[in-house]
Amino acid sequence: MKSTWSDDDAAVCVARYGARVGEDLALRVYASRLIGREPDLVLHGGGNASVKGEHTTVLGDRVPAIFVKASGHDLRVIEPEGFPGLDLAYVRRLRALGALSEAAMVNEFRTHLFDHRAPTPSIETLMHAFIPMRFLDHTHADAILALTNQPESARRVRDALGDDVVLLEYAMAGFDLAKAAADAYDAHPGARAMVLLRHGVLTWGDTARASYETMIDMVTRAETYLDRAASKSPRARTPPVVTSEERARSRLARVAPIVRGLLAARTGDADRPYRRMIVRPLVDRAVLDFVDADGAKALALTPPLTADHLIRTKATPLWIDAPSYDDADSLREQLTRAVAEYVRGYEHYVRTHAPQLATSLAAGDPLPRVVLMPGLGALCAGESGDAAEIARDITAHTLTVKARVAAMGTYAGLAERDLFDMEFDSLQRAKLPNGGEPPLGRTVALITGAAGAIGSGVARGLLRAGCHVVVTDLAGGALDSLVEELRPTFGSRVIGVPLDVCDADAVARGFDAVAATWGGVDLVVVNAGAAHVSRLADMDLEAFRRLERINVEGTLLVLREAARHLVRQATGGDIVVVSTKNVFAPGAQFGAYSATKAAAHQLARIASLELAAADVRVNMVAPDAVFSEGARKSGLWQEVGPDRMRARGLDERGLEEYYRERNLLKARITAEHVANAVIFLASRQTPTTGATIPVDGGLPDATPR
């Protein structure tokens, strides 16, 4: 591992924050970000950092202070506000106590902050406070964990890191660990670092750079030792290539939706019977070599690298023996049995250890967060795409480290009781989302024709409602620019997938791409369509057939693939077809559009009949006169508008006003209104299927009947 410290970049950070928070805290922020950006050191909010200094009170007194990372904050992007300041003199006095419960400890933190609005400091605050060095860094470095998760961990740490490193037996983070670490530091005043067995490594220094570069040095020594030991071990070998990445990825479309469905917890709510998860597949050469290797199951089911990962992955993954990839029914039965067995095992684990908990227990669901499958890789679940990504990254690092240990020795993790204590620790669980989840926060939606006015508006509406959204359209600048527009606001919850609804293979590939990204689809918005203006007497047959391919066959192909996918996932779902008022009130010179959209509407009604038994609800929304969504013009109106404007002697604004005046509510219809109708149906506020919601301001001739 190489140091990435840059004096120039450090100076930029000081220039940005120093005047407000002081140079030391500014450098603390800089060094913390360097650590947070290195996934071999910490993952997704892991690790800790602190700096000691002074705070000036409102009376002008300068008092000793410690600024320590707040619980759950991510070092990679941390700001100065992520280091709440506490009264250091008072906090250090807590070392004299014989015992201090976690609840009491947190109360002491909260009551001795300099700013009552600050976030809660890390559970390891006391360890940082009791050790007197100015800057401290604590990471869960992969290489260090590879050394400490072995039977002879103390010897290996000494051999790798030298005698100027303090070794500390595992203790759960909190008061007891803080006292033990302080005592060990006092007993070894010349030490450069401290290794917390099966937990991580702590380094320190008088400057931010000194502490950071000691961390890099320790990890580099560990990496060098591991490489040398593996090269000398008779176990070292290149694993045989059993499954190609291409073959494994081809299985995802069939397997991921089944697994995602089985990981959905039942709610008891008739309208929304499942609490779904987002699933991030992990398929690469490293994970395939792991799951396909001899002895992989026994190694995979050993404890995690550090107890800090438990809230994301649980204590063990679910392993599937010899998956029946060539027989869909057998595979489903096999997966169903395996998940049920995991649930029984997890419930036994909770019953066994719960009586020893000091506080009341909220167990949560017993379903696995990581599923390992030979021939495929790993499927990692979370309540959101970000949470699933965290589980995925932790899994990748965990399997890599375990394989590294197996190449030179024997992996040995924490005892089950220690794992349970950390998994159900209140401060750890506080890092997880707790209420306030948006209504569609666990829903994956796919929208066809998303680059137009209505499609982009529906995408924005669903994203605001918490959805993970797949925008699809023909490949090109319109789709690419839509993703670029949405990403700054909605981040990784939106992806773009090129999809031609007229091409059956392209439609199937589009659904496969979603399964390979988030595990499956729950809501399909069939929006792609085309228009043509012509009197019947002048109709060009090829122009009519073009609309037929897009509006009818395209709808059929998307409905067909959505049905297959949702039935495979087996947690119900919703399909909303964007219809039109022309189904009920067609217009002159608009025969091709009206007829083909009527056919698509009828297909949707039939789908509602055929899919109800699978709790897949199929509904329609029928908008009228949606001109644009921001800068995105409606494709329909680009086709129809010029003729309508010529016929009425109006410009575009005048035409919009004409259509507004003709509806009963005198309303300007927008894509946001269409999105709201889709959200109403997708959120299942009523037990409705086969229905049409007009979004037209009230057009009596177009009322569904």
- The beta strands (E) that lie in 214-268 are given as 265-266
Identify the pLDDT of residue 117: 94
Residue type, 379: L
Expressed in angstroms, the distance from the first to the final Cα of the chain is 70
Query: Could you write out the DSSP letters of every residue in 509-556?
Result: HHHHHHHHHHS--SEEEE-------B-GGG--HHHHHHHIIIIIIHHH
Q: 274, 325, 349, 593: which one is catalytic? A: 593
Helix (H, G, I), strand (E, B) or coil at 201: strand
Domains and CATH numbers, the chain: 7-232 (3.40.225.10), 245-356+364-429 (3.40.225), 444-697 (3.40.50.720)
Identify the pLDDT of residue 463: 97
Identify whether the C-beta of residue 105 lies closer than 8 Å to the C-beta of residue 68.
Answer: no
Give, for 270, the enclosing helix (H) or strand (E): none
What contacts 314, CB < 8 A, 6 or more positions away? 346, 368, 369, 370, 423
Pairing of strands 370-373, 318-319: parallel
Let me know if 84 is exposed, middle or buried by CB neighbors in 10 A (0-12, 13-18, 19+): buried
Q: Identify the bridge partners of residue 622 per DSSP, sorted by sequence position.
A: 694
Identify the pLDDT of residue 234: 63
What is the three-state SS of 569-618? HCCCEEEEEECCHHHCCCCCCEHHHHHHHHHHHHHHHHHHHHHHHHCEEE
Identify the pLDDT of residue 642: 66
Kindly report, residue by residue over 297-333, the tens digit of the pLDDT: 999 999 999 888 888 899 999 999 999 999 999 999 9
* Residue ranges for the chain with pLDDT beneath 50: 236
Identify the pLDDT of residue 178: 96
Respond yes or no: is residue 346 known to be catalytic: no
Identify the pLDDT of residue 85: 97
